[in-house]
Chains A and B, each alone.
Chain A
Amino acid sequence: MEKLINEFSIGLFFWQTLLFGLLLFLLWKFAWKPILNAVNDREDGIKDALAAAENAKKEMQNVTADSEKLLKEARAERESLLKEARGIKDKLIAESKEQAKVEGDKMIKQAQATIESEKKAAVADIKNQVAELSVDIAEKVIKEQLSNKDKQLKLVDDMLGDIKLN
């Protein structure tokens, strides 16, 4: 202890305290403050950037989820649209088939009726014509056969003969 006290130099203590104080002040002002501020700023910057990146990631996830949802919805809609279209098509086809059938049947019936009436008319016409022709023929035949007296007499004979047979 005595050696320590003996070694102690007031002058050195004075200079050390003074110079260290000065050094502390100068470094505080011109070195530590700017250094620590710069480091803090940088760290805050990094923190902010990380937070921003995290946010962006979350947003990105949201966007992806949204778009996936949209895609799903669109797909479902397409599916339902297709289904509906198919239903409509089937219905249309069935309807038109039915209609066509009804129409056809109607036409056939009409045609049949027309044919029937035409046939009837034609048959009547033919009947008339046949009657006329028969009368004409009969006239001609009669005229032929009764052109001379012999024939006329023969006919009368024949006819009389027939009557007898009856």
Chain B
Amino acid sequence: MRKPFLLKILLAAVLLLSNSSFANVKEDTSDEPKKDLKTEIKEYINHHLQDSHDFSLFSYTNDTGEHVYIGSSLPVILWDNGLKVFSSSKFHHGETLAEVDGNYYKLYHSKIYKTNAEGAINYDEDHHPTNTKPIDFSITKNVVMIIVTGLLMLWLFTSLARSYTKNNGVPTGMGRFFEPIVLYIRDDIARPNIGEKRYRKYMPFLLTIFFFIWFLNMFGLTPLGINVTGNIAITFSLAIMTFFITNLTGTKDYWMHQFNPLGDSMPWYAKIPLYIILVPIEMLGLFIKPFSLLIRLYANMQAGHIVLMSLIGLMFIFKSWLGSPLSFALAFAISLIEILVALLQAYIFTMLSALYFGFASEEHEHEHEEDAELAHS
């Protein structure tokens, strides 16, 4: 009873403090008259949606008008004619240039550019920087969160596994919460979509991907300002794994279906004109399936964060007794929906991955399978 209460207070404190950073940003506007509050909030949201080279919990402007960031800096790893490793504190949150081995790097919109000693950024006509970008292997905020989530999952599920041996096949503690979810993924996602015979080999991937996405989605809802699953590189990586597993475990029947979708239902000369269209579509489908996965997860999480943060931002724009509580209530309602979306997106990603694995590993009854595909789409 005591622990959750403490946790709540802590969360509330973090929430208040992170909001207060908004308030301070607003005060900041007096220094830069060109930026109004709305642009400021928009930039803040954009900044939040992107990966960051620092793990800053919140920032504020102190009495002397200086920006103070609370959090820790992270290691920056660059490949620029050799490995360059230095701390992100050298950037001072993009305020200064980092000089490493005689090269100058500038942090501009969360990306690292190589610049001259003055830190000049050259733009093309579309206002995109033309400076060279070294390949950035930094341990960013998202990488830290991936590690944290990974460790959390390892701890949770190895302790669940241990509790079986310790307690004679019955889970204890947290395991009682997670075991039904594991069983749900097995019985309601893997088994019906992949089939009784072959579902076992896909189970570890499905379980890992489900909990990984779910936990990261939930972390995204905390006021820590994390947006891992709303990052295109993350969803791309997850989707490409589904793509490779689908096609590498594909059976002969699966590939036959790709190149000969109509089977023996008509003579070969009748199939030629159809196949000129059908086969490319089938081939395209191979890539569209994982692509839809990556865009769906990315867009949902990104949109959720934008809506939620915009509503929180509205409180500071309205600054009235009517508008602010209203946007607070809205933000609260959206937060609740986002908790559902966090679970739902993890479920959909896992479900569709299982469905694709099911198509790939199916060995008989093609007609039956296609009916299932139609029913699901």
In the complex, residue of chain A having the shortest beta-carbon distance to the beta carbon of B126: A2
Chain A residues contacting B350 (CB-CB under 8 Å) are none
Asked whether A15 lies within 8 Å of B153 as measured between CB atoms, the reply is no
Q: Say yes or no for A74: interface residue by CB 8 A criterion.
A: no
Cα–Cα distance between A24 and B203 once the two chains are bound (Å) = 11
Contact of A20 among B160, B162, B182, B237 (CB under 8 A): B237
Secondary structure at the B interface, as helix, strand, loop or mixed, is: helix
Shortest Cβ gap from A98 to chain B (Å): 83
- Find chain B residues with CB under 8 A from A17 CB: 237, 240-241
Give the residues in chain A near B186, CB-CB below 8 Å: 36, 39
B169 touches A24 (CB 8 A): no
Interface digits, A13-32 against B, CB 8 Å rule (1 contact, 0 not)? 11111011011101110111
Chain B min CB distance to A50 (Å): 16
List residues of chain B with CB within 8 A of the CB of A7: 50, 231-233
Whether B205 lies near A24 (C-beta < 8 A) is yes
Nearest-neighbour CB distance to chain A for B306, whole angstroms, equals 13
A-contact bits for B52-68, CB 8 A (1 contact / 0 none): 00000000000000000
Chain A interface extent, by class: 20 to 34
- Find residues 115-143 in chain A having any chain B CB closer than 8 Å to their own CB: none
A-side interface mostly: helix
Min distance, Cβ B152 to any Cβ of chain A, angstroms: 10
Give, as a whole number of angstroms, the nearest-CB distance from A15 to chain B: 5
- CB neighbours of A35 from chain B (8 A): 157, 160-161, 164, 179, 182
Give the CA-CA distance A36 to B183 in the complex, in Å: 9
Are B183 and A13 within 8 A (Cβ)? no
Closest partner residue, chain B, to A10 (CB atom): B135
Mask: chain B, 279-319; 1 = CB below 8 Å from A; 0 = not: 00000000000000000001000000000000000000000
CA distance A6 to B128 in the complex (A): 10
Q: Tell me if A45 counts as interface (CB < 8 A to partner B).
A: yes
**Are the C-beta atoms of A11 and B136 separated by less than 8 Å?**
yes
CB <8 Å contact, A24 and B204: yes
CA distance A13 to B162 in the complex (A): 32
Query: How far does the alpha carbon of A30 sit from the alpha carbon of B157 in the complex, in Å?
Result: 8
Are A13 and B237 neighbours in the complex by a CB distance under 8 Å? yes
Chain B positions 313-360 with a Cβ under 8 Å from a chain A Cβ: none
Query: How far apart sit A112 and B190, CA to CA, in the bound complex (Å)?
Result: 115
With A12-B142, A38-B164 known as contacts, the answer to whether A24 contacts B237 (CB < 8 A) is no
State whether B150 touches A23 (Cβ < 8 A). Answer: yes
CB distance A8 to B154 under 8 Å? no
- In the complex, how many residue pairs between chain A and chain B have their CB atoms under 8 Å apart? 123
* Residue pair B169, A13 in contact (C-beta under 8 Å): no
Asked if A148 lies at the interface with its beta carbon under 8 angstroms from chain B, I say no
A15 with B139: CB separation less than 8 A: yes
What's the least CB distance linking A138 to chain B, in Å? 137
B100 on interface, CB distance cutoff 8 Å: no
B220 → chain A closest CB, angstroms? 15
B234 contacts A16, CB within 8 Å?
A: yes
| Closest chain A residue to B183, Cβ basis | A39
29-68 of chain A: CB within 8 A of chain B: 30-36, 38-39, 41-42, 45
Q: How far is the CA of A6 from the CA of B203 in the complex (A)?
A: 34
Do residues B179 and A39 form an inter-chain contact, with CB atoms below 8 A?
yes
Q: In chain A between 71 and 91, which residues have their CB closer than 8 angstroms to a CB of chain B?
A: none
The answer to whether A31 touches B169, judged by C-beta atoms less than 8 angstroms apart, is: no
Contact yes or no, A34 B147, CB < 8 A: no
Complex partner residue of A13 from B153, B157, B158, B236, CB under 8 angstroms: B236
Q: Mark B77-106, 1 if CB is under 8 A from A, else 0.
A: 100000000000000000000000000000
Complex alpha-carbon distance, A28 and B183, angstroms: 16
- Is B138 an interface residue, CB under 8 A from the partner? yes
B233 contacts A13, C-beta separation under 8 Å: yes
Q: Does A165 contact B (CB under 8 A)?
A: no
CB-defined A-B contacts under 8 Å, sample of 6: A11-B135, A14-B137, A19-B146, A27-B208, A31-B161, A32-B157
Interface residues, chain A, with chain B CB atoms under 8 Å away: 4, 6-17, 19-20, 22-24, 26-28, 30-36, 38-39, 41-42, 45
